[in-house]
Amino acid sequence: NLQQPHGDQLPRYVRVNTLKTTVEDAVDYLKRDGFSYLGQACRLEDLSLKDRHFVRDLHLPELLVFPPKTDFHDHFLYKAGHIILQDKASCLPAFLLHPPPGSQVLDACAAPGNKTSHLAAVMKNRGRLFAFDLDAKRLATMSTLLLRAGVTCQQLANQDFLKVDPDGPQYRDVEFILLDPSCSGSGMVCLRDNSSADQDKEKARLSSLASFQLRCLNHGLRFPRLKRLVYSTCSIHRQENEDVVAACLQQNPSFRLVPLLAQWPERGLDPLPQCLRADPTKTRTHGFFVALLEKHSEAEDGKQ
Ligand code: SAM
């Protein structure tokens, strides 16, 4: 599809790792390195950059935005873990969950760990961050990434999240969960496949992913002290996004959706406008979906 921007036409997003530096110091370093800083972006159009210009993002305070294809893989700030190369949409889950320093947090499907390292930064490395993944190789990559990022509050386990016992004594104080389960990846611009692949196969794959995602979501809500859970996918399919969340809310009436970022331009599909969607045209990111579920407080339940 020639109308859709390709992956390499999206801005290069750089998350400043506040465990190692500050946005101000990173900006100063980059200016001395020959980039020219245009200040804080105010509109989406300000994210269309060229010629070594860069800005601070309009929605996410720790995000810097560069022209497409700017390569930081050999840059000192990247190698030293001061910056993380992460698409803007994928920075939303940890930013929106916002666990306070000192809290107990669980990242259910965590590898390779960019969102885990973002959570640790939000927590200022204080508290405990349980992170699970089924894939040992991806978990090994994640250990390296977390080491480079200076994360110290994590407890990694090569384990099936669906087999983690929510009533286990070590999880009794978990109040925040980030759930970013395996999905079709249909939002990744570079992976988009417009060929008419076997449609029956694709349907079966989506429905098996959606039922896995719903099981994970229901499992997450079973942690006894849970306050908030953020659910995200890099899928553009309603079946893996709004449909999963709607089914889960129906099965768990003590949870409700938190309305997210009023100023974000793309909302969840009807009837879930509280959720966010992202895509190359409307948000200049890969395709993405985020929902934030919150437990009704007992005080409020008493009033009802
Ligand atoms: N959150 C990660 C990040 O930001 O870097 C990306 C996660 S990726 C979309 C999904 C991950 O879920 C994969 O690494 C996969 O191995 C893992 N996974 C799949 N099934 C799982 C399960 N039952 N329990 C734990 N992890 C699982």
Q: Which of 109, 231, 235 to mutate to test the pocket of ligand 1 (most atoms within 8 A of CB)?
A: 109
Atom 23 of ligand 1: nearest residue by CA position: 160
**Residue 192, CA distances (Å) to 166, 236, 274 in order:** 36, 10, 26
Backbone angles phi, psi at 179, to 5 degrees: -120, 110
**Residue ranges of E strands in the chain:** 12-16, 36-40, 53-56, 63-66, 83-85, 104-107, 128-132, 154-157, 174-179, 228-233, 255-257, 276-278, 288-295
Task: Name the nearest CA neighbour of 282 among 270, 265, 261.
Answer: 265
Token pair belonging to 126: 């204080």
Cis, bond preceding 93 (omega within 30 deg of 0): no
Dist CA 57 CA 41 (whole Å): 6
| pLDDT of res. 101 | 98
234 belongs to the catalytic site:
yes
| pLDDT of res. 1 | 39
| pLDDT of res. 200 | 85
| pLDDT of res. 297 | 74
Dist CA 114 CA 118 (whole Å): 6
User: Relative to the CA of 142, which ligand 1 atom is closest?
Assistant: 5
| Residue 180 Cα to ligand 1 middle (Å) | 7
| Residue 135 Cα to ligand 1 middle (Å) | 8
3 state DSSP class of 283: coil
| pLDDT of res. 8 | 75
Q: Which of 183, 216, 234, 275 is catalytic?
A: 234
User: Relative to the CA of 162, which ligand 1 atom is closest?
Assistant: 23
Q: What is the mean pLDDT of each run of 10 residues along the chain (304 residues)?
A: 64 98 98 98 96 97 97 97 98 98 98 98 98 98 97 98 98 98 92 67 94 98 98 97 98 98 97 97 97 82 50
Atom 17 of ligand 1: nearest residue by CA position: 109
| pLDDT of res. 300 | 61
Asked if residue 107 lies in contact with residue 132, where contact means CB atoms within 8 angstroms, the answer is yes
| pLDDT of res. 184 | 95
State the pTM of this model. 0.95
pLDDT digit string, tens, across residues 38-55: 999 999 999 999 999 999
Q: Which residues line ligand 1 (CB under 6 A)?
A: 109-115, 132-135, 138, 160-162, 180-182
| pLDDT of res. 65 | 98
Asked if residue 283 lies in contact with residue 57, where contact means CB atoms within 8 angstroms, the answer is no
